């Protein structure tokens, strides 16, 4: 075997060993769209379009306050009184992690509209873009 052939064969074997070493038995990571920020972006878009911009009477007394650029790793949206946006939030929906773990809390969730908030948020977080 010539020296050039030997080098070519050795290089091919080393490449195969290197590629095999890169393989992993770990499960594939969740898609980027399931991370906290893209999930909350979908929720914020859905809430804004379906609850507020549509003029839905159930949300007429409220305003959406998105806080998606969070240094805590928990992007969130707040629902605040329409005429007092600086007031304590009436509802908070936030996510963290990858895949995103959602949390919703606040006194508005105990009101009749709370069930709708929960249902819509879950739908939007799962990727649905429509209004019900």
Domain ranges of the chain: 32-125
Query: For position 12, what pLDDT does the model report?
Result: 44
Three-class DSSP category at 107: helix
- Sheet of strand 101-105: strand arrangement: 62-67, 76-81, 91-96, 101-105
Look up the pTM and report it.
0.74
Query: For position 27, what pLDDT does the model report?
Result: 43
Angstrom distance (rounded) from CA 129 to CA 47: 10
Which residues of the chain are under the pLDDT cut of 50? 3, 6-29
Let me know: does 115 contact 124? Beta carbons within 8 Å.
no
Query: For position 103, what pLDDT does the model report?
Result: 96
Query: For position 25, what pLDDT does the model report?
Result: 46
Let me know: does 114 contact 108? Beta carbons within 8 Å.
yes
Angstrom distance (rounded) from CA 29 to CA 115: 32
Query: For position 4, what pLDDT does the model report?
Result: 54
Query: For position 31, what pLDDT does the model report?
Result: 57
Phi, psi of 86 (to 5 degrees): -85, -5
Angstrom distance (rounded) from CA 124 to CA 82: 23
């Amino acid at each position: 075997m010539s020296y050039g052939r030997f080098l070519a064969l050795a290089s091919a074997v080393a490449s195969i060993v290197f590629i095999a070493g890169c393989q992993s038995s770990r499960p594939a990571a969740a898609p980027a769209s399931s991370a906290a920020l893209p999930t909350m972006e979908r929720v914020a878009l859905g809430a804004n379009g379906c609850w507020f911009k549509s003029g839905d009477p159930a949300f007429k007394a409220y305003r959406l306050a998105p806080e998606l650029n969070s240094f805590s790793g928990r992007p969130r949206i707040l629902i605040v009184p329409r005429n007092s946006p600086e007031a304590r939030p009436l509802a908070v929906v936030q996510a963290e992690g990858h895949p995103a773990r959602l949390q919703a809390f606040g006194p508005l969730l105990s009101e009749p509209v709370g069930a709708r908030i929960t249902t819509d948020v879950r739908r939007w977080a799962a990727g649905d873009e429509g209004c019900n």
